[in-house]
Structure formats: C-alpha cells, structure tokens
A and B are shown apart, each in its own frame.
Chain A
Amino acid sequence: MPAPCFAETEENQEPRKSRNPGNPVIHQSSGHNFMFKSRVSLEPITEPGELARLSAQKEQAELLDLTNDAIIVRDLDGVIGYWNRGAQTTYGFTKEQAIGQKLQELLKTEYPKPLQNIVQDVITYGRWEGELTNIARDSRRVVVSSRWVLRTDPDGGSSILINSNEISAKKVADVLLLAAERQAEDVLAAAQQQAEVVLAAAQQTRFGQRPVKTEPTELLRLILQREQAEILDLTHDAIIVRDLEGVIGYWNRGAQETYGFTKEEAIGKKSNDLLKTEYVTPLQEIEQDLHACGRWEGELTNYAQDNSKVIVASRWVLKEDSDGRPFSILEVSSDVTLQKHAEIVLLVAQKQARDVIAAAQKQAQVVLLAAQQSRSDQRLRLVVEAAPNGMLMVDQNGKVALVNSQLERLFGYGREELLGQSIELLAPEALRGQPACIGDSLFVAPQTKEMTKGDYFGQRKDGSLIPVEIGLSPLTIDGENFVLAAIVDITERNRKEEFLQEKISELGRSNEELEQFAYVCSHDLQEPLRVISSYTQLLSKRYRGNLDEKADLFIDFITDASKRMQVLVNDLLVFSRLQTKAQEFKEVDCSSIVSMALANLKLAIDESAATITCDKLPVVMGDTSQLLQLFQNLVSNALKFQSRDSAPVIEISVRKEGNFWLFGVRDNGIGLDMQFADRIFVIFQRLQVKEDYPGSGIVLAVCKKIVQRHRGRIWPESSPGNGTTFYFTIPCITKDVIKGGSGKITLLGLKRSE
C-alpha cells in the first residue's frame, strides 16, 4: 500500500528539503575533487579545449558518466565545454554534437528569469538552483531541476558547472494522470447525465430500472494530489565513497538529502549499518560481481535517519590504486523511492481510471439497455392495450407477464391479481393440468396458431366459464421467449350461432310442414271435392228441369265452385312441388327451352295468331323443367292478357348485365298499373275479374319462385294499355360454377355465337 509511505513522506517533506540549510553547498564538482584528490587534481576549467582534455581523461569520464544526471560545463558566455553521458541520455544530443555549441541555443532553454540574471546570481552567490524547460533533440520537452555552480580556475577564469536532473517524466505522468482523471470524471459525468435522462424516462414505465450508484472518484483525486507533491520533492543522486570494509569516506549533499544523515554523521560509519541496507541479492554475490567486473548496478533498499525506507538505483564502481589493488568503492545512488511510488500510484491511478471508465461504460450500457428495453416494452404495452380483444403475454414458465384492460374485464381479475400468476388461473378448474387447458396448450408448440376449432373455455374470477377463441404468437424480447395470446370471448357469437341454427331448423320444419300441407291440400282435399262435384253433376243431370229454376242455378254455382276449387288445389300442388320436386342445376340451353315452351303453347299461339320473336339465348345453370315452366308461364301470361284490338306480339330478349343475364319477355297486351307490381307475384292474387281473365293467379307466383331459386329476381315494367315487359335475371356461368374452367365456357360461347 502506497498510502502510508505518502503520509510519512509528507510528514518529512519539509525537514528533508532543508536538511542542511546552513551548510555550505556541496557541489558534485567538489565530489570530483574529493574522489581524485589523492591522485588527480582537477584542472581548472577555463577553455572548452581544456574541458575536452579533461573529459578525455578516462577515469574522470567514467565517474561522471555513472550518474543519470546531465552534467554540463559551460563558460560564462554559454559555450559548452563538457557533456556527460547523462546529458546525452537526457537531451538526446551526443557529446560531439553538444561541445562548442551555445547551451541555451542547443536546448532552446526556457528560464524562469532572464539568463543574464541567473548568470549574475551564479557569479555573485556562487550558485543557482531552479527548474528549466529544455527541448530535447527529438523535440520532447525536458523539464529539469537544475543546479548551477561557479567554478573559479586557478588562473582566475570562471566557468559554470550545471547538474540537471530530469523531472519531466514525472510531469508527463502528472499530466497523464490528470488527463486520465479528467477523462474518467468526464465519462462518469456524461454517463450520469445520460443515465439520469434515460432513467427519468424509464421510471415512467413499469419495467424501468433504478439508477446504479456511481463510485466516488474522491480517492483517485487524493492519490493524484499526493503523488504530485511527491514528484516535486525529487532530489539528486547520493554519492558515497567507502573503503572495502564499507567504512564511509565521502558523503555528498545528495546522500545527505537522500538519507538524512549529515556528512559528519556518516563518515567513518559502515554504510550498510548506517543505512540498514537490504540487498536484493546477497551482498557477497554483489561484491564478487564488483571485484570481477569492477562495477555493479542494482536496486537497494536503505533506511534513512528517520527510519523511512529509501529505495535507490545504485551503481558501484571499484577503485584501484596505481598497483591495481582495489581500495575503495564509489557508490552513486538515485533515490527511486518516489519514482517507485509514483509508478505504483500511476499504475493504481491508471487502473482506477480504467476501472472507473469501464464501470461507467458498463453502467451506461446497462442504463441504455434498460432504456431501450423500457422503450420497446412501452411500445408493446401500447399495442397490447389498444387491442380490441383480451390479450395477455405469458413467459416461458407460464406466468402472466402482461395483460390489457380488455382481458381484465373479460376474466374479472385486476391486473395486479394476474401478473406473475400461472396462466392456469384463467383455465377452467376441471381442465387445469389437462391438455385441453389453455395454459398447457400455450406451450405445447409455441408457434403462431389459432385455437378456434373445438371448445375452449376460460374461467372467470367468479367461477363462471366463458367460451373463448385464442390466437397465439410466439415472441422473443431481449432473448426471452414469450407467448402473446389474443383471447376473444365468443359467448355472444355462440349465442347468435345457436339462435341462427335454431331459426334454420325452425324454417326447415315450417317448410316441411308447408309442403306437407300443400300435398294434403292437393291430395286429400280432392277426394271430398270430387264427391261434391260428381254428385252435383249427377243431380243436375237427373233432375234439371224437374226442380224450379233457382234450384238449377244453385246447382250450377256449386258445380262451378267445385271445379274452380279443384284448379286451385291442383295449382297449390304444383307450387309446392317447385320445392319438393326441384332438380339439381345443370347446364340449360335457354333457346331450346324456349322452343319447347312455345311447342307446348302451340295451340294457344295459333288460336291468338301471336307473333313471337326470340334472341339467341345463353346457356345457364338451372333446373330444366323449372326454366321451361318459367318461359312457358311468362309467354302464356303474355298471351292471356292480350289486348282485344290487336294480335299479340311477344319479344323474348336477353342482354348481359354484369354477372347476370337479363331476360325480357315483352308483350303488347293490356299492361298493368305499377302500383300492383308486387301483388301480381303473390299466389292466388288477381288484378282482373275472373270472368274476363280466368285463372287462379298462380302463374306469376310460380315464376317468381323459380327465378328466386335460380338466384335471380323478377319484376315487371308496364303501364296500363302499353303492354308489359317481365324482366328476370339468371347468373352467368362463371369459373366457380363450372369446375371445368374457362375452356368449357369458351366452347359454350363459341357454340352460342355460331
């Protein structure tokens, strides 16, 4: 856990910064002097040429290259005379590229105050410290914590040694973290906003979901703040020289800053005792490497004066005397504790940011999904609610998921009583658990189907059964299977059907009775009628003239009446036989039918000297004998009601009107008043006195009945004195009528047009 470290560090931040505030500044350059005092005296640095010479000195170069810090020597004009490996690493320019260049131009340095003033400070106070921003070779911005020291050469010349430690990586990390934090916050804010909008909509619906609580970002923010503080507290390398026993002989300011011990406290102590050094690999192995290779690099954990843990990246170089015997170890250590912490913090922060973003995204998805779901639910609900019949939706477990108010009314349950209940609640008690039950049949085969055949019943809340018709549609919503059932109460329809069926059989019965009645009338009535008639005639035959005149007249009335009654009874029989003796329809050629009718009426036609014309008539589907009777009746009717002045002219015509043939039988007879147009078709109704035009009034009644049976209608067009046309219609032969298809019709048509 990094947090305790931060707390400790924060606590010790101030003392550590000003660990030796009063002490003279110890420069690395003086370190150099120390290290080489016994053997090499550092030459005064006056000219770039001299610096180059110095840098050429192998040992010195090695030493200076050990550090990660950029070490640069420039003259007072800014011309670079020395450029170590650290400088190359930090800025990307090689030694060759740098030396001889003006430092501020090479690195495009941004100074916190005018360079002139900085140089003045260095000359006046011997040193300057501050943060600089340089531009590396790869255009990268490199922020360094820089320490400038004035060197005075023995000849009185001056130069400036600059030791710079890059802090820009941390800055970048800061920026990255800040950006990550902002990004996370933005994402969260957006997600929350989105969620709120969507949830507000979703909450209006039944299926809406509660908002998911957002994780606080407070922790992340705190972590970042602390890390920032730590980064600002970066210090330079600790440089220690100790003998082979580990006794410290040199202790620089960096070491003091790093470990908290002053030079006085450190020198003469064994370094691993003082610093409670923990080695990653055993010290013996490190020393073996050191003696074998002359150097070692690795990470160490030390403990500072305040017992705080200090992790350092350490480089050890074995120093040998002129005889090649090792006599001291140079240890340059960079405090990486904060870097480590920063890395961890960075990782943690990044991970948290990622988690936050992922959580936010997930949350957003959940919310969006919920919103979409609630929208589609809403649509479905509206559709279901608007349905004119009872509807319910059942889930895979047979539980009711949705009902509309029609269904509530139909079954007498409230919505809340049905939702989540088994569908069997609506099935008749006796059927529950049986295949005929609504509930079971819903899921036997979840496919679109109609449950209309057979009797299906539902049971209302009050226990009464209702006959229903059910339409089922399977439905998948968000991967869940449902069955949507439309339930129609067919009580009323059943009642109507029953009523209709009753009426039909009633009608059948009454028709039968009527036929029976007609038969009885015509048959059984004839017996007594004949007796009456026969004996009146016998009476008349034997006793005419023997009684008085009135008796003879009375006998005549009786004889006449009984004859007419016989006609009526016979007509009644004919009329009743229109139904009982009906033939199946077949193709009938109307032209040949008319020929037969005219042949039957030949005597009457000849007697009246009538002229009869006839169009070519079509073939229709009909009852041959009835159609014969129809034409015969109409022609004889035309003959009968002829005018006294002229011979009858009768025209039989036909034309097509839509799907019907329109036949016309026109005469030039006495005509009729159209106000009686309906009465003429009523059986035994007459318009004329029987003395003028005898007959029972059955002819046209029979015509009407025949036409009706052929799905046509019949009506007269007439006025008194202007003749009458009887029109009637018969359906044309269609493909529906003749199964044989159009070929046959064409054939028949050809036949007709020939």
Chain B
Amino acid sequence: MNVLLVEDNLADLTLILEVLKDEKIAVDVSVVRDGMEAMDYLNKKGQYKDAISPDLVLLDLNLPKKDGREVLAEMKSSPELKLIPVVVLTTSQAEEDIIRSYDLQASCYVTKTIDLDQFIKIVKSIDGFWFTAVKFAPKQ
C-alpha cells in the first residue's frame, strides 16, 4: 500500500506520520512538500522517475507553487492519474472549498480538526476505508 502525502506544513505531516505510526497502520508513505513536486512525483519526472505510483493521495489544498486545487484538477484531467483516489485534507471549512473539491472529483474531503483524538479517528477511518476496504483500480 503506497500513499502519497502532499503537505507543506511540517507539523501537520509529522503529526500524520506519528499518528500512523502510533496506530500501527502499515502503509508506505511518500511525502512531497508542494504542488509542483506532487505532479512531478505522479508523472515520474526528474528525481521521481523511479517513484512508485501511489494507491491513494492525501492532498492538502493550500500548497506553495501549485496549490492542491490545481493538482486535483490536473490529476482528474489526466487519463493515467484520474483513477487514483484523492482524499483532501485541509483546515479550511469554507463551503466553497468543499464544493469545489467535490466538483474536481475528490474522492473524499476531510477537515483537519483541532482535536487529536478526532484526528486519529479520521486517519483510522481512512485506513479502514481506503487502505483495507476499497478494491482499487489496477495499477498501470
């Protein structure tokens, strides 16, 4: 199980990794820090030419260089990438962000909460739902 985590905030990405570790969720997590890198990784360009295609993308919306909304739009317009499920992780509770994400065919929209326990629940449910229950489209 390979997961691409697109997150610029070190605190957030550390927390995710820590929670995954604490909860003993066995996934291989690759981390990129901005939207450009994310697209390079997904398209296996440059330093990511040997990257493994992820089974799931955890995508923050507010990113430097290329923001998460653009990354989502590009993925969904690419035949190779459009089948990869994307879980949007964000602090934004703005309605328009939520609506837009679903418009861009995000698989799931998850608001990062301030409560750690609740966050752990979410990560667990992602694990339960995506990492174990969902039968993914075959990798190309």
Contact = CB atoms under 8 A, between A and B. Distances in A.
Interface of A: 523, 526-527, 529-531, 533-535, 537-538, 541, 562-563, 566
Contacts of B92: 523
Given A535-B15, A537-B115, A538-B18, 19 more contacts: A526-B91, A527-B9, A529-B114, A530-B112, A530-B114, A531-B9, A531-B11, A531-B12, A533-B114, A533-B115, A533-B116, A534-B11, A534-B15, A534-B114, A537-B116, A538-B15, A562-B114, A563-B115, A566-B114
Contacts of B2: none
- The size class of the interface chain B forms with chain A is 10 to 19
Contacts, number: 37
B117 interface: yes
B93 to A, nearest CB: 8
B98 to A, nearest CB: 13
Tell me if A's interface is mostly helix, strand, loop or mixed: helix
Contacts of A526: 91, 114
A526 B113 CA distance: 9
B91 A527 contact: yes
B116 A538 contact: yes
Contacts of A533: 114-116
Nearest to A566: B114
Contacts of B109: none
Contacts of A523: 91-92, 94
B110 to A, nearest CB: 13
B117 to A, nearest CB: 7
A584 B113 CA distance: 33
Interface string B14-29: 0100100000000000
A615 B36 CA distance: 61
Nearest to A530: B114
Interface string B88-131: 00011010000000000000000011111101000000000000
B114 A541 contact: no
30 contacts: A523-B92, A526-B91, A526-B114, A527-B91, A529-B114, A530-B91, A530-B112, A530-B113, A530-B114, A531-B9, A531-B11, A531-B12, A531-B15, A533-B114, A533-B115, A533-B116, A534-B15, A534-B114, A534-B119, A535-B11, A535-B15, A537-B115, A537-B116, A537-B117, A538-B18, A538-B116, A562-B114, A563-B114, A563-B115, A566-B114
A463 to B, nearest CB: 59
B85 to A, nearest CB: 24
A529 B12 CA distance: 12
A493 B68 CA distance: 54
A646 B56 CA distance: 55
A529 B11 CA distance: 11
Nearest to B119: A534
> Which of A523, A534, A566 neighbours the largest number of chain B CB atoms within 10 Å of its CB?
A534
B8 to A, nearest CB: 11
